Structure 1
Amino acid sequence: MEITLVVMAAGMGSRYGGLKQIDGYGPNGETLLEYSVYDAIRAGFDRVVFVIRPDIEDDFNACLPSALTSSIDTHTVFQTYTLGLPKGLTIPVGREKPWGTGQAVLAARDVIPGPFAVINADDFYGEHAFQSMATFLRGLPSAGESVASALVGYRLKHTLSDYGSVSRGLCEVSAYRELLSIEEAPTIKRSKGGIVAVNAEGSSRPLDGDAWVSMNFWGFAPSFWPVLERAFDTFLKTKAQDIKAEF
C-alpha cells in the first residue's frame, strides 16, 4: 500500500513577509521543506505532492535539489481561489488568495491513490514524526471504509521560538490520546511569567508548557475525501461572501 505526503506550500507568507517555504536555513542553504522530504523518504513514504500557487512555480522548482526529487515520486498541483468552486458561485470583489488548508488538500486528490499525510512546507517536524505517521498510515486497513485519522502532537514548550511569537493549535486530548478539539491560538510567546497566548484585544492567558499542540501534521485514510468535499461545499454555501474566510 502506497502512502503519500502532501506538502502545503501555497501560503501567502503575509506574516513572515516573503516566501518562507523556499528560504534557506540549513548550513548549506537547505530549506525546511528539504528536511521534511528527506525525513519522509527515510520513513518510507512513496510519493510527495507539493501544493503551490502558480505564481511561485519557477522559484519553488528552483529551490528543490534534483538529488532529492529523484529519490521519490513527486507531483506538483496548484491551489487557486477558483479551485473546486461550483459554477455560478459569485466570488466577492477583492478576493485573491485561495480558501485555506482544506482547499489546498483537495487540490491534491487526483494524484493520491491511498492513505496520506499533510504537512506545512515551512515547519520543522523531526524524523520521528514522519516515522510515526508512516507506521500509522501503513497500519490502516487496505479495504473498507475506515475513517481513522491521526495528528502528530508536540509539547508546547518544545515548539516555541526565541525570536517572536508562534501560531499553534491547542489540543484537547482524552486519557486515551484521542483528539477531542483544537483551538487556534495565533499568538503564543514566552513572557516573564511563563508561556502565554495573546488574543486580538491584547489580553493574555497562561498556557501549560506540557500541553499538546498541533503543528499541522495530519494523517488520513482515503475515506476522508468525501468528508472533506462535503465540508467544503457547506463552507462555500455559508462563508463564500466573506472575503477573509478560510476553510
Structure 2
Amino acid sequence: MQPTLLILAAGMASRYGSMKQMEGFGPSGETIMEYSIYDAIRAGFGKVVFIIRKDFADNFKAAFEPKLKGKIEIDYVYQELNSFTNGFAIPATRVKPWGTAHAILCAKDAIKDPFAVINADDFYGRDAFEKAAKFLKEECAADKHSIIGYELAKTLSENGTVSRGVCVVDENNNLVSISERTKIYPENGKIVYEDAEGKHEVPYHSSVSMNFWCFDASVFDLATDLFADFLKTKGQEEKSEFFIPIVADHFIKEGLGVVKVIPTSSQWFGVTYKEDAPGVQKSVNDLVASGEYPASLWG
C-alpha cells in the first residue's frame, strides 16, 4: 500500500496578495509545493491529489503535469462553494468555500487509502514526510490518525506575528486538543502570544500544528456528518469555516480513537508575508547547496 498526499491548494492567498502557490523559490523555479511532492515521492507516497479552484485548473495543470508525469499518480479535486452542501441555501454574500475540513471532504471520491494532508504553501521538510509515510503504512487505522508536530520556535516569522495551533498532548503523546493562538512572536528570548486578556508566554518547545495530518479514509464519513451539522449551526454566517481541528476534536472527545502527535526535527518555513519570500528562497538554496535536494528537482 502506497499512501496518498492531499495538497490544499485552493486558497485565495489573501494575506500574501498573490497566487503564492505558484511562485518559484528553487534554483530552477520550483514552487514550495514541488519540494513537498519530491519529499513525498522519496518517502514512498504513490499518489498526489490537488485540491484547487476550478477557474484555476487549466493554468495549474499546465504548470505541474509536465514535471510530474511518470513520477507519481496525479488527480484533481475542485473545492466549490456548493460542494457537499446537499441543497443547503448558501448565503448570497458568501464567496469563499467552507475551510480546510470541507476541502478534505471534497476529495472523498478520489482517495481510498490512508492519506496525508498538507498546505500547498508550507515547506515541511524530508523528515516530516518520512515519518508520515511510516505512520500511514504501519499504524494508521480507523481509530488512529496522527498529526506531525513542529517545534514552535522553528515556525516563527521575522516579519510579523503568526497564528499557530498549539498542541496539548497527554503522557502517551496523543493529542488532547489544539489551542489556536494568534499573534505569536519571540520577545526577549521567550515566545509569547497576545489575546484580549493581554500577553502570555508559550513554552519554547511546544508542539504546533502546521496542518500536516495523517488520516485513515474512514475520516470522510465522519467529516460528512460533521459538515452537515456545521451547516445547520454556522452555515448562515458569512465567514464561518469548517476546519480540520473541528473534525479531530470531535474524533478525540467522542472517544472514536486517538490522534498521535509525531514530532519532527524539520525546519518549517513558509510565506506568510511578502517580506518572507527572500528568506524562503535563501532557505531553499541552502538546502540545495547542502545536497538535500538537486538543483533541478525534476531534471
TM-score, length basis structure 1: 0.92
Query: Which aligned pairs between 1:64-213 and structure 2 lie closer than 5 A?
Result: 64=64, 66-87=66-87, 89-140=88-139, 146-192=142-188, 194-199=190-195, 201=196, 203-213=198-208
Task: Give the distance between the partners of 1:76 and 1:227, measured in 2 at CA.
Answer: 22
Counterpart in the other structure of 1:2: 2
Q: Percent identity?
A: 46
Residues 112-132 of structure 1 deviation map (CA, whole Å, 9 limit, x = unaligned): 121111000010111111111
3-12 or 184-193, larger mean C-alpha shift: 184-193
- Greater helix content: 2
Which amino acid is the alignment partner of residue 162 of structure 1? E
Q: Which runs of 4+ in 1 moved over 4 A?
A: none
Q: Alignment RMSD, CA only?
A: 1.7
Which amino acid is the alignment partner of residue 153 of structure 2? K
77-86 or 64-73, larger mean C-alpha shift: 64-73
Aligned-pair distance for 1:140?
3.8
Change (3 A) 1:61 1:189: farther
Change (3 A) 1:56 1:189: farther
Q: Secondary structure at the match of 1:110?
A: coil
Q: Secondary structure at the match of 1:92?
A: coil
Asked whether 1:228 is paired with 2:223, we answer yes
Task: Give the distance between the partners of 2:182 and 2:12, measured in 1 at CA.
Answer: 16
Q: Secondary structure at the match of 1:170?
A: strand
2:48/2:75 contact within 8 Å kept: yes
Residues 207-241 of structure 1 deviation map (CA, whole Å, 9 limit, x = unaligned): 12200100011011122221111111110111100
Aligned-pair distance for 1:65?
6.0
Counterpart in the other structure of 1:32: 32
2:2/2:44 contact within 8 Å kept: no
Aligned-pair distance for 1:93?
2.0
Task: Give the distance between the partners of 1:81 and 1:68, measured in 2 at CA.
Answer: 29
Change (3 A) 1:29 1:136: same
Residues 165-213 of structure 1 deviation map (CA, whole Å, 9 limit, x = unaligned): 22211100112111000012233222346322233x5943221220010
Residues 84-131 of structure 1 deviation map (CA, whole Å, 9 limit, x = unaligned): 0122x2111210110000110011111112111100001011111111
202-211 or 127-136, larger mean C-alpha shift: 202-211
Which amino acid is the alignment partner of residue 73 of structure 1? E
Uncovered stretches (5+) of structure 1, i.e. residues with no partner: none
Counterpart in the other structure of 2:22: 22
1:7/1:50 contact within 8 Å kept: yes
Uncovered stretches (5+) of structure 2, i.e. residues with no partner: 243-299
Aligned-pair distance for 1:61?
2.5
1:146/1:221 contact within 8 Å kept: yes
49-58 or 71-80, larger mean C-alpha shift: 49-58
Change (3 A) 1:163 1:61: farther
Aligned-pair distance for 1:164?
2.2
Residues 118-169 of structure 1 deviation map (CA, whole Å, 9 limit, x = unaligned): 000010111111111111111147xxx7321000001100111222222211
Which amino acid is the alignment partner of residue 205 of structure 2? D
Change (3 A) 1:175 1:111: same
Task: Give the distance between the partners of 1:146 and 1:81, measured in 2 at CA.
Answer: 28
